[in-house]
Amino acid sequence: EAQVTQNPRYLITVTGKKLTVTCSQNMNHEYMSWYRQDPGLGLRQIYYSMNVEVTDKGDVPEGYKVSRKEKRNFPLILESPSPNQTSLYFCASMGSMNTEAFFGQGTRLTVV
Amino acid sequence: AQRVTQPEKLLSVFKGAPVELKCNYSYSGSPELFWYVQYSRQRLQLLLRHISRESIKGFTADLNKGETSFHLKKPFAQEEDSAMYYCALITGGGNKLTFGTGTQLKVEL
């Protein structure tokens, strides 16, 4: 089954403790991206990647890092999480430009 | 810069009533527009895209370049249509997918 898988689904952590949210897709898609979803703000793009070793900032990249060492994986790294990063995070992948985006099930992160 | 505007945060209609979810965009180039839907506790999924000009689950959306709009319509709302709807725009050669703030549709019996 074609899918995008994120882990963990839920995470509560403390300020400053480094964490990684993993994202994996099994569709051999070149394009992957991360979004955060906040009430009243919709989905905002954090980072995206057009292929292996090619990443770029989205609209709200501050406080986040990503890497794309393999085509299927695109982890989101928070080196020093802060409470304003409490949000619902979605990973997405696309097979080629201007096609359908497939989303993961979301990761609800709470930073206290 | 590209922008997608969904003016309504919440739209409540009765079952059987017509539905129109508004979406306006700003982009100087030729846009690729989509509607995504998020049912309760589920992931976002594509509902329809303007280039396909198709009807999905009774929903249609027409791109109006003059008004820079891509409103989502359905003639008769069903209870199962209750969900969060996002309008989205692809620009930059396909490397940037910009979402609106979303509209929560609630269909009441």
pLDDT tens-digit readout, A7-57: 999 999 999 999 999 999 999 999 999 999 998 888 999 999 989 999 999
Question: Is pLDDT larger for residue A100 or for residue B92?
Answer: A100
Select, from the ranges A74-88, B23-37, B62-76, the one with the highest average predicted confidence (pLDDT). A74-88
Tell if the CB–CB gap between A56 and B94 is shorter than 8 Å: no
Q: Distance between CA B106 and CA A34 in Å, rounded?
A: 28
Among the partner-chain residues B45, B51, B101, the one whose CB lies closest to the CB of A42 is B101
**Size of the A and B interface in Cβ pairs below 8 Å:** 57
Average pLDDT over residues A51-71: 95
Is A62 in contact with A70 (CB distance < 8 Å)? no
Q: Looking at residue A79, what is its pLDDT?
A: 96
Q: Which of residues 28-57 of A touch B (CB under 8 A)?
A: 31, 33, 35, 40-45, 48, 50, 56
- Phi and psi at residue B94, in whole multiples of 5°? 100, 0
Q: Looking at residue A97, what is its pLDDT?
A: 64
Residue B83 has pLDDT above 80, yes or no: yes
Q: Looking at residue B92, what is its pLDDT?
A: 63
- Phi and psi at residue B27, in whole multiples of 5°? -165, 135
> Assign residue B66 a region: left if phi > 0, alpha if psi is -120 to 50, beta otherwise?
alpha
Q: Looking at residue A3, what is its pLDDT?
A: 92
Tell if the CB–CB gap between B43 and A45 is shorter than 8 Å: no
For chain B, percent of residues with pLDDT exceeding 70: 96
Is B74 in contact with B81 (CB distance < 8 Å)? yes
- Chain B: residues touching A (Cβ < 8 Å): 6, 9, 32, 34, 36, 42-46, 49, 51, 86, 88, 90, 93-102
Residue B94 has pLDDT above 80, yes or no: no
Looking at beta carbons, which residues of chain A come within 8 Å of B100? 42
Question: Is pLDDT larger for residue B53 or for residue A77?
Answer: A77
Tokens of A14: 């403390």
Looking at beta carbons, which residues of chain A come within 8 Å of B46? 100-101
Tokens of B78: 């069903």
Among the partner-chain residues B43, B51, B100, the one whose CB lies closest to the CB of A42 is B100
